[in-house]
Each structure stands twice: as structure tokens, then as C-alpha cells.
């Protein structure tokens, strides 16, 4: 279908809770295709959520740890064990900060045809599932950061050329 433009920090769609998908039709399948095309065309990718291309729908795609797929209307079950590592986001290009996430995640929802779907993952896949689900709830990974790391991230965002195109 199409590679769509990624919305960047400051776009209000990234801070808006998305609408649940209620009809599994050609429009949803086209959205999944556009999301996957966008993901596969992006550098340093692990996932793309619908709000990142300006669509308020609870849909994301992922390509992490050798697994590629999509999820509609996800809910997450997270482990109490934590992992630590750098995280980035296509909506905050070229910025990476240490971000704590649950080590294991189980995402439950539906595929593009409305069939129940469950995806379990650890490590990087678990991180991607959490990151993309956060997008559907109007959160960015830097919202989870605390202390000096958060201050550094916000300074980096404010000084990024894509955040201040007039520079």
C-alpha cells in the first residue's frame, strides 16, 4: 500500500488515547499494510503504532527478535522482572535513553480479521510490545524516564533539529 510519514514529537496525535477498533474490515487491513510498509521502510525499527502515522486506532505492527506481526486492541500482561536497556522511537529520531521495561510481556488482542491473537515475548520483543502499546495510550517512552535521565532526554528533544524546524 504505502509508506506513511511518521509523526514527530509535538504532534498532538501522539498524546491522544486511540479509539478501539470495532469493525474489522478492508480499512483495518489497509491500515495494517500501511503500518507494516512504513515499519519496513524505517531505519532502526522495531514497531510502528497507528498514531505515529496520524491514525487514532488501537493498532500496531512489530518486527522484533525474528518475529513480525500486528495487533489490534491489545491488552498487556507484564512480568514483575525488569530489563534495562536503551530505547528509541521513530517519533523521536536518533535519540536513545536507558528505559526500564518488564522483561516478559503477553499481548492479547485481535488480528486484522478480528480473530483472537496472543503474542508472548521476552527481552526485545517484550520491550517492543510495551513501547507500541504505550503509543496507543498517548504515551512516549520518555514519559517513563525519571530523574537525570528524563532531564537529559527532554533537553535532547528540545535541541533536536526536527523539534525546532526554524533553527
User: Which three three-digit cell numbers place residue 145?
Assistant: 524516564
pLDDT tens-digit series, residues 44-78:
789 999 999 999 999 999 999 999 999 999 999 99
Distance of CA 122 to the CA centre of its chain: 16
Q: What is the pLDDT of residue 166?
A: 55
pLDDT tens-digit series, residues 99-129:
999 999 999 999 999 999 999 999 999 999 9
Architecture per CATH, 12-159: Alpha-Beta Complex (3.90)
Q: What is the pLDDT of residue 1?
A: 63
Tell me which residues are annotated as active site.
Answer: 132
Across the chain, mean pLDDT equals 95
pLDDT over 60 (residue 167) = no
Phi, psi of 133, deg, nearest 5: -65, -40
Domain spans of the chain, in order of start: 12-159
Q: What is the pLDDT of residue 165?
A: 61
Give CA–CA dist 16/31, Å, rounded: 18
Q: Are 63 and 77 in contact (CB under 8 A)?
A: no
pTM score of the predicted model? 0.95
pLDDT tens-digit series, residues 2-14:
999 999 999 999 9
Q: Are 69 and 36 in contact (CB under 8 A)?
A: no
Amino acid at each position: 500500500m504505502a509508506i506513511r510519514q511518521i509523526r514527530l514529537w509535538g504532534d498532538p496525535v501522539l498524546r491522544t488515547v486511540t479509539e478501539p477498533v470495532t469493525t474489522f474490515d478492508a480499512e483495518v487491513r489497509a491500515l495494517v499494510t500501511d503500518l507494516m510498509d512504513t515499519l519496513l521502510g524505517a531505519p532502526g525499527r522495531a514497531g510502528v503504532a497507528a498514531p505515529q502515522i496520524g491514525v487514532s486506532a488501537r493498532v500496531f505492527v512489530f518486527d522484533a527478535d525474528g518475529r513480525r506481526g500486528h495487533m489490534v486492541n491489545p491488552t498487556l500482561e507484564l512480568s514483575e522482572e525488569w530489563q534495562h536497556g536503551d530505547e528509541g522511537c521513530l517519533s523521536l529520531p536518533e535519540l536513545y535513553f536507558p528505559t526500564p521495561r518488564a522483561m516478559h510481556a503477553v499481548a492479547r488482542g485481535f488480528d486484522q480479521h478480528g480473530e483472537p491473537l496472543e503474542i508472548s515475548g521476552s527481552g526485545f520483543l517484550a520491550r517492543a510490545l510495551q513501547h507500541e502499546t504505550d503509543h496507543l495510550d498517548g504515551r512516549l517512552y520518555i514519559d517513563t524516564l525519571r530523574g537525570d535521565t528524563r532531564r537529559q532526554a527532554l533537553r535532547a528533544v528540545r535541541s533536536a533539529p526536527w523539534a525546532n524546524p526554524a533553527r
